Amino acid sequence: MQTKTFITHIPYRGAGPALQDLIAGQVDMMFDGLGSSAAHIKGGRIRGIAVASDKRAPGFPEVPTSAEGGVPTYQVATWYGIWAPKGTPREMITAMQNEMRKALNSDELKTMWTGLGTETPNLWGDDFGKFVGTEIKRWAEVVKSSGAKLD
C-alpha cells in the first residue's frame, strides 16, 4: 500500500509450500519471516531482497532494510509470545517468566536465534502487553485501509 504496488495475493497453507513454489519459479516473490527462509537464503536457493526492520538482520548483514530500499516506513516484525489463561496465579506466571529468561539467555538458544537471522526476544510483562496492544491497533488500521473482508 505504501508504494501503491499491486501484488496478487496467493494464499498458501504455510511458508513451506510457498517457498517450494518460489524456489521452483512458480511465483516471483513472497513475504516471509527469516525463520523459514534463512536456510534457503544461505543456500542460495532464494535471494533476500530486504528485511522489514529498522536495522539489518544480524545473520544477514548483506540484506538491506526496507528503508534502504526506498520504503522508510515499512517495518514488520515476526514476534512470539507466551500466553497463559486469565486468572493464572501471579507466582505461576513469574515462574514461567524465570524459566523463559533462563532458556533465552542460554548460549544454545542465542546461537539458534542468530542462525535464523534474528535476535533473542526481550520483552516481558507489561512491556510485552503494551507492544501487543500497539500491534493490534497498527494492523487493524492496515486491514481497514486495505478493504480486506472476511470470506
The whole-angstrom separation of Cα 57 and Cα 119 is: 8
- The candidate with the shortest Cα–Cα distance to 42, out of 119, 120, 117, 108, is 117
* Domain 15-146 classification at class level: alpha beta
In the chain, what are the domain boundaries? 15-146
The pTM (predicted TM-score) of the whole model is 0.70
Quote the cell numbers at residue 127: 512491556
| Helix/strand/coil (H/E/C) assignment for every residue in the chain | CCCCCCCCCCCCCCHHHHHHHHHHCCCCCCCCCHHHHHHHHHCCCCCCCCECCCCCCCCCCCCCECCCCCCCCCCCCCCCCCCCCCCCCHHHHHHHHHHHHHHHCCHHHHHHHHHCCCCCCCCCHHHHHHHHHHHHHHHHHHHHHHCCCCC
What is the CB neighbour count within 10 angstroms for residue 104? 13
Could you list the pLDDT tens digit for every one of the 151 residues in the chain?
788 888 888 999 999 999 999 999 999 999 998 888 999 999 999 999 999 988 898 888 999 999 998 888 888 887 888 889 999 999 999 999 999 989 988 999 888 887 777 777 778 888 888 999 999 998 898 888 888 877 7
